[in-house]
Structure formats: C-alpha cells, structure tokens
Amino acid sequence: MKIKLGIIGVGGIGQLHLKHALRLGNAEVYCVADTSKSALQAAKALGVKNTYNDYTEMLKTPELDAVIIALPTHLHLKCARDVAEAKKHVFLEKPISATVEEAKEVIAAAEQNSVKLMLGYPMRFNNHFLKLKQDIENGVLGDVENAHATYVCAGPFVHRTDGHSPAPVPDWWFNPKQTGGGAFIDLGCHIINLMRMLLGEVVDIRGQFGHRYGMDFEDSAMCLARFTSGTVAAVNVGWYSQDYLLRLDLHGTVRNASVEHMPPASVSAAYQMLRRGITTFNQPHLDELTYFINCIQNDTAPSPSGLDGLRDLEAIYAAYQNRISL
Amino acid sequence: MSLVSLVKIPSASSYPFREAITKAIQRVDYRFNSNARKVVIKPNLCYYWDHTTGQTTSPQFVSELIDLIRVQTSPEVEIAVVESDASAMRCKYAFRMLGYEKLAKEKNVQLINLTEQESTSVDVALDGNVYTFSVPKIISQADLKINVAHIKYTIDPVKLTCAMKNIFGCNPIQKKFKYHPYLGEAIVALNKAMPFNLHLIDNNIAAGVQPRKMGLVMASQDPVALDSAAAKIAGLNPNKIPYLKLAEKEGVGKRAYVAVGEPLETFRSLYPKPTFRMQTKKRVKRTLVAVGLGARMGLE
C-alpha cells in the first residue's frame, strides 16, 4: 500500500521535496501546508489536491502516514513535536534545530510517540560518497590521515551566474537566533554529517569564522576537526561565492580520493532531465525520500537519524565555542 | 553634442578612484556648486552581490567621491547615500552586506532607504501618455545630485543598465517588476522627474557576462550621452536601444556625444561580451521553451 505523505512548507527546499515526492512509486503526496498562498497555488499546479494554510489542520487528516518538514530552522522543534504527537512519521530538513537542547526535544518527541525520525541529508545518498565509504571500509585508501572538505556557494542568496532573477531572502535567514548561526550551521552540517559517515565521530573541533559581509552571522568558516578514525580534517564552508563547489578530498596511506557533488552543465542537465526526468545532482534527494518511505513500509530505523542530527549540531556548536583567532 | 569622459583608474595610487573621478569630471567641464549644502549620491546596489561581482558600486568609490565633494564644496556639507528597496532586495540588509554601513560610519554620511522616505506624487508627460511616480523629497530638495552607475546587461528590450536605469532605482516603490512591461518608458519618465547634476560610472570591475577588472571611470552631465557611450563599450548599438531614442525625444539628453580622455575602443575590447556559443545556447533554450519542452528539460 502506498504511504500517504504530507509536506509542511513548500517554498524553496520544500518545493524541491514536493517535486521529488511526486515521482515516488511507493508513496503519494496526499496534502501540503504552507502559510503562503502562492506556494500553495504552485503545489496545486503540480497536482497536489489537498492544501492547508494551517499545518495543524492538515495533521488532523487520519489517512496521513508521514510528513516532510521543510520549514525555517527555528520552527523545527514545534512542528516536529506536533507531527510526532499526531502519530505521523517525520522527515525533517537539516539542521535538526537551532540549538542542541531543541534537538534533544525533537528526538524525545519522536521516541515518545513511536514514530520514525529521519534527517534530510541528501549527500548521504550520493553514489560517489557511498562508494568512498565502501573504499574506506575495504581498506582501499589505507588509513585516511587527512581530509579536506569544501562547500562554498551563495547560501540563501541567488547566484549571479544562475541566470535567474534575484529572489527575495526571507528575514529569518538574517537572524542567527532563528537559524542557529550562519554558513557553518547551514552548509557545515552537511559536511560534518558526511564526514561522520566516513570517518567516525568528531573528537575535537576548532573554527575560525569570517564576517566579510558584516552581518551578525558568519558567512564563512574554516574548521579543523579530528575524528575517531584518527583523521584530521579541514572543513571550509562559505556563503560568499558565486561559484558552487562541494568537494571532498581524502588522503590515505595507500591512495587519495576526491569526490565532487556539482550541478551538471546546462546541456548535460537538460539531457538528463529529458531522458530520466531528474539530474544526477538531484537524484540523491529522490533516493533519500524513497529510502524514508521504505523504512516506514519495512519498519526499519532510518539513517541519518535524529541522533545523527544531534551529533552534527553538537560538533557545530563545539566549533562555535572553540574559536581560533588568526 | 555632450561630453563623455573616460579615465583609466591609476593602479599605483593611494586614492585611485578620487584621482580618476577628478580627472573624469574635469574633462567634461563639470564644476561642483560650492554653495551646495545637501548632496545626494545614488550608487547602484543590486541584490546582495558585492562589488567584486561587478554588479554593484564599490563603497570605496563612493568613499573617495565623498572626500572629493567635501573638498570641492564644504567639509560641513550634508551627504546622503540613497537607495530604495527592490523586488528582491532590502536596503537594510544591502547597506550592511555591501559595506555601506561601515562607509557611513567612517565618513559621517547618512544612509537613506528611499522606500521609507516622504515622497511627492509627480505626473510626467511622455510621448502622449502621462505617468505618475513618487519622487522622494530628499532628492527633490537636494542641491547636488550625483548618480554613480555601472554598465550591465539587462532584460530585453531595455538591454542596458547604466546611468538612466540607475535613476529608476530612486523610485521608492519596492515591487519594481511591475514596471517591466513598460520599463523603457518608466526609466525615461523618472529621469525627467528627477534630473541629476552629474552622472558617473564606476566600472572598475565590469559585470558583462562575467566579472572582469576593467579599471574604467566615466563621467558626463548628460545621462543619455553617457548611456550611449556605455552601450558602445558593452557591444550594443545605442541606436537600437529604444529608451535612449525616447529619452532624446523627450529632451533628457542627446545620444550624440564627444568622448574625451582614453579611447573608448580600449574599454570596448575589455568589456566581457556574450560569445557566439553563449548566444546560441540562449537561442536554443528559448526555442525549447517555446515548443513546450522547457519544463521537461528543467529549463523553466
């Protein structure tokens, strides 16, 4: 039987999830909720029949099995708790919450209500990173001594090179109390999560944070972290660049390995869309949703879990506290 | 014919912009009104892209312009740097992110969001039609109005963003996209409603199809002449830009100009223009969208 899926928040990343969820073979998008009329109209245009202005009304739908939460970070705890209490499984966008304390409450809410909680970390479903994990486990790289991860882009701002018109940036992005921080929590959580998958838990982490744009949040971060595997990694993230780059380099005693997660060139992207209806860049987003639905159907625990989200956030806050001044 | 000056920014100077601006305005015979007490400077802020992208005016350029104004008028002159909210940009964030808050503190000037200012409604007759716009009082009451623009490509049929389009940014209405169906007419009408005394171009970094160091400062008292020269630099034919024709017809300025200073051709060759490949890709994309394949191929 198909899982009935709801989505709370269908702007930005929520709309991306919606488009992918509509392609799922083992689930149907039953309803969506958003406070924005235009976002709901866009969802309707994509074929969603049931739309709600108030997500609490949507949660009263008995047929609903699971909910994707794609809201601003400061709303994660309340919404995740409401969804869990309504006995719906939770797929929560990263980061799990704006603070470590809230992250613990999100996990507790899922546990107390016996619902599944999965965090949205698509990079974990990128085939190249999964192959890298296998190679590390099989000793192909030897001992990974050092790693270097870079994730730079324009963050919440539109890339000048996108060819799209500039889009407004919601006020909450400019408020670190609502986001939990800046570029490091936004992009760094992807990298920390990925490195934890490959290299073990974070033992120590220190960070240098940049404020090129003079805002109350960091727009760049350069962190050094040591993992339980013994690997020391440099993590470089930033919202300052008009050029998207997500790259991971691992340097082992036997071999080096590099993986990039980049949007394909426009011609290649158009060809991929025509042929398969999805680009290689977006495939991990679809795969993570397919996996989440499988976890519900097979009653297995999803990964990345709420605990993963908490560990990522703990590492990020440790870096915020252990500041290096250069 | 109006004078348009072109000056190469000196590389070995402590105040490269000030030197270049001084030369540029001398070459167009502009003299600051020494009695000016209220000065308005309109830079070109576009979204939250910093000056290294070539999309926005460098705060360093404005800073050195402020020094020059104070020397030429009075140290006590009141200077306001003005911009308005746009469809996707909020001044309160742009001023901070793009270095203008820091500049305002250092130079003791005001930062004004025109969207939050008192305005008066003005009717502008244009080509048999009447357009109504709001003109911020801070602009209408200023003794000296300086426009600091940038040469950029923009949507068809306007094609060019430069001095005249930058004045369009003084329109306090936030949702400026509503003017897109008649953008050329709106640009001309606003230039008629808010004539500026001096128009400068900071093209140290050119935007073009990709940023490129260009080191150009331009000046003119005539925005139409300045935009015509800028169009040439960007590889566009000014006679095929409808708003320039309309502006000339409406008496905003003249398309014919005399270029003084560095040869225009020097900068024309430096400006990053679309390649044949880029133009072909654009045409293919347009065709695919027109035949209904856009959404399926992720082009929309």
Q: Would you list the DSSP string of B64-118? A: HHHHHHHHHS-TT-EEEEEE---SS--HHHHHHHTTHHHHHHHHT-EEEEGGGS-
- Is B299 within the bounds of a domain? no
Q: Which of B110, B95, B85 is nearest to B57 (CA)?
A: B95
Contact criterion met (CB < 8 Å) for A214 and B96: yes
**A194, A241: one domain:** yes
Contact between A221 and A207 under an 8 Å Cβ cutoff? The reply is yes
**A235, A271: one domain:** yes
Select from A215, A267, A273 the Cβ nearest to the Cβ of B296: A273
Count CB pairs under 8 A between chains A and B: 58
CA A147 from centre of chain: 21
Select from A157, A161, A269 the Cβ nearest to the Cβ of B298: A269
3-state SS of chain A is CCEEEEEECCCCHHHHHHHHHCCCCCEEEEEEECCCHHHHHHHHHCCCCEEECCHHHHCCCCCCCEEEECCCHHHHHHHHHHHHHCCCEEEEECCCCCCHHHHHHHHHHHHHCCCCEEEECHHHHCHHHHHHHHHHHCCCCCCEEEEEEEEECCCCCCCHHHCCCCCCCCHHHHCHHHHCCCHHHHCHHHHHHHHHHHHCCEEEEEEEEECCCCCCCCCEEEEEEEECCCCEEEEEEECCCCCCEEEEEEEECCCEEEEECCCCCHHHHHHHHHHHCCCCCCHHHHHHHHHHHHHHHHCCCCCCEHHHHHHHHHHHHHHHHCECCC
d(CA A293, CA A287): 10
**A166, A196: one domain:** yes
**A190, A220: one domain:** yes
Question: Is the ipTM reported for this complex over the cut 0.85?
Answer: yes
Number of domains in chain A: 2
- In degrees and rounded to multiples of 5, residue A156 shows phi and psi of -75, -5
Per-residue pLDDT at B224? 98
CA distances from A66 to A32, A59, A108, A316, B83 (A): 11, 10, 17, 29, 46
pLDDT band with cut points at 50, 70 and 90 for residue A162: low
Contact between B152 and B206 under an 8 Å Cβ cutoff? The reply is no
Q: Which of A154, A265, A161, A152 is nearest to B207 (CA)?
A: A161
Select from A160, A215, A271 the Cβ nearest to the Cβ of B49: A160
Per-residue pLDDT at B13? 86
- In degrees and rounded to multiples of 5, residue B245 shows phi and psi of -60, -50
- Is B102 within the bounds of a domain? yes
Residues of chain B with pLDDT under 70: 298-300
- Is the CB of residue B240 less than 8 Å away from at least one CB of chain A? no
Contact between B191 and B252 under an 8 Å Cβ cutoff? The reply is yes
Q: Does position A127 have pLDDT exceeding 90, yes or no?
A: yes
Least confident window among A37-46, A165-174, A307-316, B121-130 = A165-174
Taking phi over 0 as left and psi of -120 to 50 as alpha, with beta for the rest, A92 belongs to beta
- Is B12 within the bounds of a domain? yes
CATH number of the domain within which A89 lies: 3.40.50.720
**A168, A72: one domain:** no
Per-residue pLDDT at A325? 86
Per-residue pLDDT at A165? 72
d(CA A6, CA A94): 18
Per-residue pLDDT at A164? 62
In this structure, the number of other CB atoms found within 10 A of the CB of residue A171 comes to 12
What's the pLDDT tens digit per position in A260-314?
A: 998 888 788 888 888 888 888 899 999 999 999 999 999 999 999 999 999 999 9
Q: Hey, what long-range contacts does A260-264 have (CB within 8 A, 24 or more apart)?
A: A260/A128, A261/A123, A261/A126, A261/A128, A261/A129
Residues of A with CB below 8 A from B53's CB?
160, 242
Mutate to test the interface with B, among A20, A153, A157 (most CBs of B within 10 A): A157
Closest CA in chain A for residue B101: A214
**A114, A175: one domain:** no
CATH number of the domain within which B240 lies: 3.40.50
Q: Does position A87 have pLDDT exceeding 80, yes or no?
A: yes
Distance to chain B for A114, nearest Cα, Å: 39
**A271, A136: one domain:** yes
Among A122, A144, A164, where does a domain finish? A122
Residues of A with CB below 8 A from B55's CB?
160
Least confident window among A88-102, A169-183, A197-211 = A169-183
- Is A256 within the bounds of a domain? yes
CATH number of the domain within which A274 lies: 3.30.360.10
Q: What is the DSSP letter of B221?
A: S
In this structure, the number of other CB atoms found within 10 A of the CB of residue B234 comes to 24
- Is B276 within the bounds of a domain? yes
- Is the CB of residue B49 less than 8 Å away from at least one CB of chain A? yes
**A103, A203: one domain:** no
Cβ-Cβ contacts under 8 Å for B69 (sequence gap 6 or more): B32, B39, B77, B79, B144, B146
- Is B24 within the bounds of a domain? yes
- What tokens appear for B92 in the block? 């309160």
Residues of A with CB below 8 A from B96's CB?
213-215
Least confident window among A82-86, A122-126, A176-180, B207-211 = B207-211
CA distances from B13 to A254, B17, B20, B217, B262 (A): 52, 9, 10, 15, 18
Contact criterion met (CB < 8 Å) for B53 and A242: yes
Contact criterion met (CB < 8 Å) for B99 and A214: yes
**A142, A194: one domain:** yes
Owning domain of residue A182: 126-281+303-321
Per-residue pLDDT at A163? 58
- Is B300 within the bounds of a domain? no
Chain A contact residues (CB < 8 Å to B): 157-158, 160-161, 165-169, 174, 212-215, 242, 266-267, 269-271, 273-274, 277, 279
The alpha-helical segments, DSSP class H, found in B121-182 are: 137-140, 163-168
- Is B297 within the bounds of a domain? no
**A107, A154: one domain:** no
- Is A286 within the bounds of a domain? no
Closest CA in chain A for residue B177: A165
Per-residue pLDDT at A265? 81
Owning domain of residue B201: 2-290
Distance to chain B for A291, nearest Cα, Å: 24
- In degrees and rounded to multiples of 5, residue A321 shows phi and psi of -80, -40
d(CA B26, CA B43): 21
- What tokens appear for A55 in the block? 């997500």
Which secondary-structure segment (H or E) carries B280?
Answer: helix B276-290
- Is A326 within the bounds of a domain? no
Residues of A with CB below 8 A from B51's CB?
none
Contact criterion met (CB < 8 Å) for B87 and A168: yes
Per-residue pLDDT at A268? 85
- Is A55 within the bounds of a domain? yes
Residues of A with CB below 8 A from B288's CB?
270
Mean pLDDT of A232-250: 96
- Is the CB of residue B53 less than 8 Å away from at least one CB of chain A? yes
Q: Which of B160, B214, B149 is nearest to B4 (CA)?
A: B149
d(CA A194, CA A188): 10
Contact criterion met (CB < 8 Å) for A242 and B49: yes
**A131, A111: one domain:** no
Q: Does position A161 have pLDDT exceeding 80, yes or no?
A: no
- Is the CB of residue B99 less than 8 Å away from at least one CB of chain A? yes
Number of domains in chain B: 1
d(CA B199, CA B140): 17
- Is A288 within the bounds of a domain? no
Predicted structure pTM score: 0.91
Contact between B95 and B166 under an 8 Å Cβ cutoff? The reply is no
Contact criterion met (CB < 8 Å) for A167 and B88: yes
Select from B88, B97, B298 the Cβ nearest to the Cβ of A214: B97
- Is the CB of residue B48 less than 8 Å away from at least one CB of chain A? yes
Per-residue pLDDT at B157? 82
- Is A81 within the bounds of a domain? yes
- Is A290 within the bounds of a domain? no
Among A89, A122, A155, where does a domain finish? A122
Among A122, A146, A166, where does a domain finish? A122
d(CA A198, CA A175): 32
- Is A296 within the bounds of a domain? no
**A105, A240: one domain:** no
Per-residue pLDDT at B280? 83
- Look at residue B36 and give its three-state secondary structure: coil
Distance to chain A for B263, nearest Cα, Å: 30
